[in-house]
Amino acid sequence: MGGEGWFVMKLLVTGGAGFIGCNFIRYWLKNYPKDKIVNLDKLTYAGHLSSTLDFKDNKNYRFIKASITNTRLVDRIMRDVDIVIHFAAESHVDRSIIGPTLFIKTNILGTQVLLDAALKNKIKRFHYIGTDEVFGSLQLGSDKKFDEETNYDPRSPYSASKAAADHLVRAYFHTYGLPITITNCSNNYGPFQDPEKFIPRMITNLIDGMDLPIYGDGLSVRDWLYVEDHVRAIESVIMGGRLGETYLIGGMTRDISNLDVARKLASIFGKKNSVIKFVKDRAGHDRRYAVDWSKIKNELGFRPRYDFDVWLEKTVDWYRENEWWWRSLKSRAENLYRKTNQY
């Protein structure tokens, strides 16, 4: 598969006004300038047309505002599409704890609507964007990592809905022969991430002179990956991944706690660690994620390129230089945390 060189593709990207989706479209239009992209996004609280301004007028790009649960429309849109890259989801664990229903509708039923349409329209590839959270929680201090053989053990309504979607996507491969691939990725950071999520919340709080609210004891560990590395990994799976296969994608190979990330950010801003404030823990908070990405490296030659410390600083620069993008989103984010008492 590939737009550059041998044939031009038409991609349907769902959720392309969200964080990873907009970074994917930006990358793809630059690197595969002949391909056509349709972005189907409902523009929920997490979808921002402001994240698409730099490519919205590209002649090979089209935006459609609608829900992936709209069966008739999804079927119509897919008629002349070659590949579906399915990012659209309710993606925030804290919101899933407050209200799981929408997660079930969007993440499970929405995925099934897309799968049915893909089957009907004989799509050449359906690529599903999964998460490492489906594997549950690893123990602090252990050297265990998730890999493609790890049993599913989702522990939040968000990860349970994403796990169900993984299973559905695989079921459509085995039962109906739909040509699918899945990637399960760890925590992304980078430009255009909503200030509700950890790293942008910390950065925008520091810009605003606010404290850094850390859940629980702050020792939980995430496996951080710069968003463009995720996009490049998806590219390598679309281009060379075997049908029916799942590939895990991860970043850092050593553990780093949320507290350490907050300390690094405070120091970038020249602030003392006293800006860190411990707040109520997340219910069912997963302790540690770590991803073994040997399969994608050995089969497809993919490895992350962007160093965490360097790209964390560049991400800080991006938020400093692009206040126009996040300023109007900040009060909604902090209102959410006032409701959950985590501010």
Residue 289 interacts with which of ligand DAU, ligand NAD, none, CB < 5 to 8 Å by class = ligand DAU
Q: What is the C-alpha to C-alpha distance for residues 230 and 304, in angstroms, rounded to an integer?
A: 8
Q: What is the C-alpha to C-alpha distance for residues 131 and 240, in angstroms, rounded to an integer?
A: 20
**Smaller CB separation from ligand NAD, 110 or 157:** 110
CB of 164 to ligand NAD, least distance (A): 12
The single residue among 35, 41, 94, 223 that binds ligand NAD, judged by CB under 6 A, is 41
3 to each of 83, 85, 162, 302, how far by Cα in Å?
Answer: 11, 15, 29, 19
Asked whether the beta carbons of 158 and 90 are under 8 A apart, the reply is yes
CB of 126 to ligand DAU, least distance (A): 19
**Tokens read off for 47:** 């979808």
Q: Select the residue whose beta carbon is closest to ligand NAD and give its number.
A: 18
Site for ligand NAD in 184-213 (CB under 6 A): 185, 187-188, 194
Backbone angles phi, psi at 114, to 5 degrees: -65, -40
Q: Which of the ranges 46-54, 89-97, 140-148, 320-328 carries the binding residues for ligand DAU, by CB under 6 A?
A: 89-97
CB of 6 to ligand NAD, least distance (A): 29
The answer to the question of residue 39 lying near ligand NAD (CB under 6 A) is: no
How far does Cα 26 stand from its chain's mean position? 15
The answer to the question of residue 71 lying near ligand NAD (CB under 6 A) is: no
Q: Is 169 exposed, middle or buried (0-12, 13-18, 19+ CB in 10 A)?
A: buried
Backbone angles phi, psi at 31, to 5 degrees: -90, -20
The answer to the question of residue 246 lying near ligand NAD (CB under 6 A) is: no
CB of 114 to ligand DAU, least distance (A): 18
Interface with ligand DAU (CB under 6 A): 91-93, 131-133, 186-187, 197-198, 201, 213-215, 220, 222, 258, 282, 289
